[in-house]
Structure 1
Amino acid sequence: MAAKRRRSGTIGCAPFLVLIVIALIIKFWWVILISLGVVAVTAVLVRTAKAPARPAPIPTPKPQPVRAPPRPVVSGDDLTAHMRSQKRAGRERDLQEWDYEWIRLAHPGKSLREVNEIANAHFARGRSIGINWGDPSVS
């Protein structure tokens, strides 16, 4: 039996088929475009139908104003002691203000910063002109 040989130079009817397919694409481009759109929409619908549901968004809480915690209610002897300490602290503050004014008047050429340093050193030693007449050892 003789083996059939193919000729390497013949193409056959493939170019004609390619030209026919190109002609159909040119003539019916709008049909192909619509069908591709339908296929794409169908694929998207199927994918979203199979996807798990998204969790509901959690609204962020509104920021609350910052408040100091409520003070405990003081009564009886505690209230009396508290009122006395407040009164004593107020008196000391007033006397220290008086001392500061005296120091400011005693050093007229000094700047405010230098007067503040002198007053802070004065108060750090426990001295006050109005309290104990400047003697920290007297209670």
Structure 2
Amino acid sequence: MAAKRRRSRSKGGSIGCAPFLILIFIALIIKFWWVILISLGVVAISVALVRSAKAPARPARVPPPKPHPAVAPPRPVMAGDELTAHMRAQKRTGRERDMQEWDYEWIRLANPGKSVREVNEIANAHLARGRSIGINWGDPSVS
């Protein structure tokens, strides 16, 4: 006759030694909980250090600029011919500015119905030709 195969009596119904292993594992956790916490802390710190080492460096803080003095530094003192030329140029520009203001007022009074913009255009055209009513009656050829 043919030999029969032996079958185990349990067809997957037995648990085996798994409950004992689980109980042993739980007992170890209860007994060494402080070791587990310390090791988890060491792992967390090492992970944080590795991540911070791989991160790009932060830009350096730039200190705010120093405030500049409110008063401008004194100009160098002029003397001699340089001072004379400077005084003459100031006097000439002052006279020209006064004449231009006088001309503008004369043009404004001569054109009472014009707007400020139109008076400005007339005055700019008049002054661009080098004419001044206050000097030589507006004739630039006479000096």
TM-score between the two structures when normalised by the length of structure 2: 0.65
Q: 1:108 to 1:29 in 2, by over 3 A?
A: farther
Residue 29 to residue 102, structure 1, CA distance change in 2 (3 Å): farther
Amino acid at match of 1:64: P
> Which residue number in structure 2 is paired with residue 13 of structure 1?
17
- How much has 1:89 moved relative to structure 2? 1.0
Secondary structure in 1 matching 2:93: helix
- Aligned amino acid, residue 118 of structure 1: I
Asked if the contact 1:99/1:129 (under 8 Å) is kept, the reply is: yes
Q: Is 1:35 aligned to residue 45 of structure 2?
A: no
Q: Structure 2: any 5+ residue segments left out of the alignment?
A: 1-7, 54-59
Alpha-carbon distance in 1 for matches of 2:135, 2:66 = 48
Residue matched to 2:107: 103
- Partner letter of residue 107 of structure 1? N
Moved more, 11-20 or 35-44: 35-44
Which of 127, 131, 142 does residue 138 from structure 1 map onto?
142
Cα offset, 1:28, TM superposition: 4.0
For 2:117 and 2:103, the matched residues in 1 are separated by: 16
Match of 1:4 in 2: none
Q: 2:122 maps to what in 1?
A: 118
Question: What is the aligned length?
Answer: 126
Name the SS of the counterpart of 1:99 in structure 2: helix
1:75 to 76, 79, 87: 79
Change (3 A) 1:100 1:34: same
**Contact 1:92 1:131 (8 Å CA) reproduced:** no
Counterpart check, 1:60 vs 2:63: yes
**What TM-score do the two structures reach when normalised by structure 1?**
0.66
The letter of the residue matching 2:92 is: R
State the identity as a percent.
Answer: 67
Closer, same or farther in 2 for the Cα pair 1:37/1:78, shift >3 Å? same
Task: Report the CA distance between 1:132 and its aligned residue.
Answer: 2.6
Q: For structure 1, which runs of at least 5 residues remain unmatched after alignment?
A: 1-6, 52-56
C-alpha separation in 2, matches of 1:99 and 1:31: 98
